[in-house]
Amino acid sequence: MIGAESPPPAIGFGGGCHWCTEAVFAALRGVTELRQGFIRSDPPDDAPSEAVLMRYDPDAIPLDVLVEIHLRTHSSASNHKMRGKYRSAVYTFSADQARAVRGILARISTREEQAYVTRVLPFRGFDASDPRYHAYAARNAGNAFCTRYIDPKLARLRAEYAGFVKEEEGTR
């Protein structure tokens, strides 16, 4: 349709539990839509894995910053035994987006002198998690899980990416 605005870019991130991943990306400026659940890709990665699906404004938060934040807020260099449930991946929606993400991962890996297990996979499907787990960190602030796993990620986000954190997050 002529004159119709296209929707903001979509992307998926998986690595740790979707409660943690959701909390990290919910804290960022420029994330315009965020859903927590399970993402599937092509075989052998067609089993659902915990992740978030989101849309973002690339003028407010560039893709390279999103990818870097993703790498720094989960065990992106560890090929631990829970990788089936917690696949470390960036789920892309086009060949161009996949190429861009691969380039970003290569640059970060070289700069950090770090090998990452994070993979670039095509997005093939999404199933939302149970609604009682949505906005888990916001609804359960102060509980043991949040204090142990989510709060340190948000503290790192505020310390290293303050310019991309929503004001209400930066003042907590």
Mean pLDDT by 10 residues, the chain (172 residues): 66 90 96 95 95 96 96 80 77 97 97 94 96 92 92 94 81 41
pLDDT of residue 115: 93
| Residue in this structure with the two tokens 């102060």, named with its chain if needed | 142
Q: Token digits for 107?
A: 């640059």
Containing 136, the helix (H) or strand (E) segment is helix 136-139
pTM for this prediction: 0.90
Instruction: Please name the residues in contact with 113: beta carbons below 8 A apart, sequence gap of 6 or more.
Output: none
For residues 142 and 125, what is the distance between their CA atoms, to the nearest angstrom? Answer: 33
101-133 burial string, b = 16+ CB within 10 Å, else e?
A: beebbeebeeeeeeebebbbbbbeebeebeeeb
How many beta carbons lie within 10 A of that of residue 35, not counting itself? Answer: 18
Paired strand residues for 121: 91
Domains observed in the chain: 10-170 (3.30.1060.10)
How many beta carbons lie within 10 A of that of residue 65, not counting itself? Answer: 18
3-state secondary structure of 71: helix
Q: Token digits for 94?
A: 């086009």
